[in-house]
Structure 1
């Protein structure tokens, strides 16, 4: 059974359930609905699961980039402290440390931008897929309403 059929099954259960007088509410079998929802979760398209993975992966990449940048900065500071006693060497070390910091920040920024673009593309694809599924659901519901 695919997701659309499961959603239709939920709609059927709701439409066939006993209504509570003087309200727009109905009584449904909680376990039956939860079982169908569990089946829907199991059958969710890989694109949705992949979007979640991309989000987690983006965080991992950003953390890794930040760790790498921190390591480079730490190494640059250590190197700078070793050379602090020598005036000319100190100046060169300071310039080199700034270059390393700028490079590491640029690398981290490029990695973050790449991760965000990658995540955005996957989320866009997932969004388009979900829009198509919603359009199909809307058409199916309109057809059902036309049959009444």
Structure 2
């Protein structure tokens, strides 16, 4: 985890609030004119200060899709290999019966393995996202408390 400095992030957020609150308002609306580059620069600074978990959340989302796709491809390959083995084993009556039984077991195992791989990758992604969600909630609670304290000190 990176060196997360919540105070620096709060200061940057306060600076962003000040820019918005002190910007010229557009008459008859709740809208204000802001310096786009100044606000974007503050947002970039905040993003740099955020923990790596925030940055990994997007990667996890993309990685989850890749893992699921790989699991499906692996399952299809296992099933194709099982079907190929069935074709190779078919020749005589006794061999055919044994081949059908073995093939059914291989397909069943392949399907179970594929399901296990898919479930495992989903659980892994879900665990990571739950951890990040928890950390984000804690950070948001800290920010809310600090803002409330600041409002109380005015």
Q: 2:16 aligns to what?
A: 10
Normalising by structure 2, report the TM-score: 0.83
Are 1:77 and 1:97, in contact at CA under 8 Å, matched by a contact in 2?
yes
Q: 1:42 aligns to what?
A: 48
Separation in structure 2 between the aligned mates of residue 21 and residue 68 of structure 1, nearest angstrom? 61
Q: Deviations along 1:2-50, whole A, 9 cap, x unmatched?
A: 3222222111111111122222121111111111112222333111223
1:140 equivalent to 2:139? Answer: no
Aligned residues: 148
Separation in structure 1 between the aligned mates of residue 78 and residue 148 of structure 2, nearest angstrom? 60
Normalising by structure 1, report the TM-score: 0.86
Are 1:73 and 1:101, in contact at CA under 8 Å, matched by a contact in 2?
yes
Specify the SS of the correspondent of 1:19. Answer: coil
Q: 2:133 aligns to what?
A: 127
Q: Gaps (5+ residues) in structure 2?
A: none
Alignment of 1:1-148 (within 5 A): 2-148=8-154
Moved more, 42-51 or 125-134: 42-51
Moved more, 44-53 or 134-143: 44-53
Q: Gaps (5+ residues) in structure 1?
A: none
Separation in structure 1 between the aligned mates of residue 97 and residue 9 of structure 2, nearest angstrom? 66
Q: Deviations along 1:45-83, whole A, 9 cap, x unmatched?
A: 111223333333333332232222222211221222223
